[in-house]
A and B are shown apart, each in its own frame.
Chain A
Amino acid sequence: GNSVTQMEGPVTLSEEAFLTINCTYTATGYPSLFWYVQYPGEGLQLLLKATKADDKGSNKGFEATYRKETTSFHLEKGSVQVSDSAVYFCASIQDTGRRALTFGSGTRLQVQP
Chain B
Amino acid sequence: NAGVTQTPKFRVLKTGQSMTLLCAQDMNHEYMYWYRQDPGMGLRLIHYSVGEGTTAKGEVPDGYNVSRLKKQNFLLGLESAAPSQTSVYFCASSYGLVKYFGPGTRLTVT
Chain B 28-48 interface residues, beta-carbon cutoff 8 Å to A: 31, 33, 40-45, 48
Question: Contacts A44-B90, A98-B48: A105 and B41 contacting too (C-beta < 8 A)?
Answer: yes
Nearest chain-A residue to B9 (Cβ)?
Answer: A41
Using Cβ atoms and an 8 Å threshold, which residues of chain B touch A43? Answer: 4, 90, 101-104
For chain A, give the interface size range.
20 to 34
- A43-B90, A99-B97 are known contacts; what are 17 more A-B pairs with Cβ within 8 Å? A34-B97, A36-B101, A43-B102, A44-B92, A49-B97, A93-B97, A97-B50, A98-B31, A98-B48, A98-B50, A98-B56, A100-B45, A100-B58, A101-B33, A103-B42, A103-B44, A104-B42
Question: Contacts A43-B90, A46-B98, A46-B99: A103 and B43 contacting too (C-beta < 8 A)?
Answer: yes
Using Cβ atoms and an 8 Å threshold, which residues of chain A touch B40? Answer: 105-106
Nearest chain-A residue to B6 (Cβ)?
Answer: A43
> In the complex, which of the residues A32, A89, A99 contacts B42, with contact meaning CB atoms closer than 8 Å?
A89
Interface residues of A (CB under 8 A from B): 4, 32, 34, 36, 41-46, 49, 51, 89, 93, 97-101, 103-106
